[in-house]
Amino acid sequence: MYNYRELGLVNTREMFQKAYKEQYAVPAFNFISIEQYNAIIDAAAEKRSPVILLASPNLHKQLGYEMVARVVQAGTDRLKNMDMEIPVALHLDHGMSFEQCVAAVENGFSSVMIDGSALPFEENIALTKRVVEYAHERDVTVEGELGVLSGAEEEGDENRGESSYTDPAMVEEFVKRTGVDCLAVSVGTCHGLVKLKVNDDGTLPELRYDLIEDMQKRLPGFPLVLHGASTIRPEWVDMINQYGGKVEQAVGIPEEQIEKAVKMAVCKVNIASDGWICALANTRRILAENPGAIDSRVFTLKNRPILKELYEHKIEIMGSQQKY
């Protein structure tokens, strides 16, 4: 069993307090490979930005919670050796059970998400409260979720169907009854590659800022979280298709909408798909240009600087640069 402090990690509590006060969001980046993880640490160091590392239960299937935590420790050691006091949190993203959250905490995660959003309201409260009580005894922060984001979080996950917006009145009750530290809400973002339905006139709908504002009024100082906030740049989709892929539809969240949300109560913004399609597009191009390659480092080493550039840009969009 590991204590997250032994791994050079922090929980998200102070991160969010500072972000809320100074009107920016802490970037939360999903990683599924070593080069992606290294690029995230590279970008955080370059921009002097706090960062939350997202590890899903699927990554546990790939590496195991302990290995994930030890890999992350190598990155926090690197920052320490550079004399940088940049806060890094390791967060279980979309934990679906009490047992998954316990396993993450026991292996050094400093923050966990318990996603009971598909459950009836009272069952979601009961599950979230149970995780909060366990985690808070160990000074680990907890994220809950209320409302439903459509789409699949990762390959192999079940598509949740239609989105349903989060009710601000239910948020107030949920937070007070569970003691959760932050809350993922549904205000117009979406998992997967198709995040917005284009209007008949060709424009994109905006996020429901009115809902964010209502939640902020009901719970002053309480941090909200946006999932499914990738931009899905068309040039990456075109590159994937050019080199043998098949991505038929892709519509992301405009960056100006994220910039507006982070100046409100949104203190954490999750980015997963952008990192995946960026690396995949570059990988497909490199392999097409090097058909005889048998060493994966032909593309992995070249993905790291491209991913670093992506994450630096995301940090700027969220306004978290030069905060430490």
Q: Catalytic residue numbers? A: 93
Beta-bridge partner residues of 269 = 27, 226
Burial 212-233 (b: 16+ CB within 10 A, else e): bebbbeebeebbbbbbbbbbbb
Q: What is the 3-state secondary structure (H, E, C) of the chain?
A: CECHHHHCCCCCHHHHHHHHHHCCCEEEEECCCHHHHHHHHHHHHHHCCCEEEEECHHHHHHHCHHHHHHHHHHHHHHHHHCCCCCCEEEEEEEECCHHHHHHHHHECCCEEEECCCCCCHHHHHHHHHHHHHHHHCCCCEEEEEECECCCCCCCCCCCCCCCECCCHHHHHHHHHHHCCCEEEECCCCCCCCECCCCCCCCCCCCCCHHHHHHHHHHCCCCCEEECCCCCCCHHHHHHHHHCCCCCCCCECCCHHHHHHHCCCCEEEEEECHHHHHHHHHHHHHHHHHCCCCCCCHHHHHHHHHHHHHHHHHHHHHHCCCCCC
Residue identified by tokens 């979601």 is: 124
Structure tokens at 308: 């670093």
